[in-house]
Amino acid sequence: MKALAVALIAGLVFGIGLTISDMINPARVLAFLDVSGAWDPTLALVLLGATGVTALGFRMILRRQRPMFGSQFRLPSRKEVDVPLVWGAGLFGIGWGMVGLCPGPAFGVLLLGHWETYVFFPAMIAGMLTHAALQRAPRAARSEA
């Protein structure tokens, strides 16, 4: 139960940070991606700040023998770049560039009542469910398709 409470608090802090930095505003994200027009560099500053805090936080946390609310750290074991990773990153980037939202901000914007979010959100969930179904499919069946 403690782990769920900590996860909820972390999610709320993340959402508050997205809101304060205005990263739930698709127009700001799209302006960041418009490098040949009215470019808005504020997202780059937010990303640099978040990356710095994360790098320091990971260094401190990974010195521990185990997480505070778990038996072991669950870190990715794969390090290679493969075709599914490239396709997934490409699709994510295309969607982000078209709409200006990714999953975290989409939850925050959902509460604001913009109709576009009610189109984006189900499409995002459908994409996640499709990915999960493809991951469960036998490898041979995926390579035949």
pLDDT along the chain (145 residues), means of 10: 87 87 86 89 88 92 88 87 88 86 83 82 88 77 55
Closest listed residue to residue 103, CA positions, set 121, 129, 116: 121
Residue range(s) defining the domain that contains residue 28:
2-144
Residue 106 CA to residue 92 CA, distance in Å, equals 13
Tell me the whole-structure pTM to 2 decimals. Answer: 0.68
Model pLDDT, residue 143: 56
* Number of domains comprising the chain: 1
Residue 59: its pLDDT value, please? 92
Long-range CB contacts (within 8 A, 24+) of 44-48: 46/21
What is residue 60's predicted lDDT score, i.e. its pLDDT? Answer: 92
- For residue 134, what are the CA distances in angstroms to 77, 86, 98, 142? 20, 16, 24, 7
pLDDT value for 84:
84
State the pLDDT at residue 22. Answer: 86
